[in-house]
Amino acid sequence: MEVVKLRPYIKEIVWGGNTLRSYGKVSDTKNIAECWELSLHKEGSSIVDSGELKGKTLADVLTKEDCGEKCEKFPFFPTLIKLIDADRELSVQVHPSDEYALKNENSFGKTEMWYILEAKKDAGIYLGFKRDTTKEEVERKIKDNTLVDLLNFIKVKPGDCYFVKSGTVHAIGGGITLFEVQQNSALTYRLYDWGKLGMDGKPRELHIDKSLKVMNFKKFKPEEFKRPLLGECDYFSTFEMKVDGTSEINANKGSFISITFIEGSGLVNNISYAKGDTFFIPASKKAVIKGNGKYLLTTIK
């Protein structure tokens, strides 16, 4: 496969907004909560949007050679990349580790990273416990609707980046648009949902028993990475990059490269790009960027 532009799988969720329409996303849905920019997940695959394969799902056309040798060690394609628009706060939630998820859910667990694209005044995220706590205290706080009192609340601004390991209790606050790179998993265990109703007008399911089995009760300690590296684990390494003129990206035989533009415009191998566009560079292939802007590059190291 050659270098291709991707079209996302789009999800409407009760907390979504419409900011991503300004990133070129088109949908008949009432809101655009999530755009799965690079996805081979069974729930929804991204779609090839350029070249001879245009209109086909990436899951149908991608080969193991396109993914690269480093992907062969995983039972599933390792990475899922999203753009998220949280017009309202997401549920307070936690994701399991691989050990728990593969044993109990036939899925990866979920470690993820957030890069803030836009944030309204005083918007923020909830990330990890302020101090060590216990299962008993968390259960008590859930029952009396004060769980968030245990969590760090961090005001955010564009360009901020946060690494969220599996087991970390977290929530994205309202008024935030972000880029998320994560393990290829849709496993989310909800502990608290702010009294929101789902798209069907009913309360969404909580997963308190499972959550208590997988969460880290220790005080949150943030991971630090030196830019341009934004976050790294076995399933993704993501970098903040700029282009002004011409830039060449070479994927080695070990891994694919994905790039998502968050500013600017131009061409990738003579395919036009603008803010919000994602491209897939197969292993052993080359992309030449001509133009300007900023992009987030993801690969497997």
CA dist 163 and 98 (Å) reads 17
pLDDT in tens, 95-147: 999 999 999 998 889 999 999 999 999 999 999 999 999 999 999 999 999 99
Instruction: Output the six-digit token pair for 59.
Output: 């899951």
CA dist 103 and 99 (Å) reads 6
Instruction: State the residue for tokens 């935030």.
Output: 176
Angstrom distances, CA of residue 12 to CA of 21, 73, 117: 13, 33, 19
pLDDT at 196: 87
pLDDT at 88: 96
Taking the chain (301 residues) in runs of 10, the rounded mean pLDDT of each run is: 98 97 97 98 96 97 97 94 97 96 92 98 98 96 94 98 98 98 95 88 92 97 95 97 97 98 98 98 98 98 92
pLDDT at 1: 95
Instruction: Output the six-digit token pair for 255.
Output: 């891994």
pLDDT at 199: 85
Structural domains in the chain, sorted by start: 4-224 (2.60.120.10), 231-299 (2.60.120.10)
pLDDT at 197: 81
pTM of the model: 0.96
Active site residues: 190
Give the largest Cα separation in the chain, rounded: 58
* Sequence-ordered alpha helix ranges (H) in the chain: 58-61, 64-67, 98-104, 135-143, 208-214
Position 193: which residue type? D
Cβ atoms 81, 37 nearer than 8 A: yes
Q: Which residues of 63-88 are buried (b: 16+ CB within 10 A; e: fewer)?
A: eeebbbebbeebebbbbbbbbbbbbb
| Chain-centroid distance, C-alpha 98 | 17
Beta bridge partners of 41: 44
Judged by DSSP in three states, 267 sits in strand
CA dist 202 and 139 (Å) reads 23
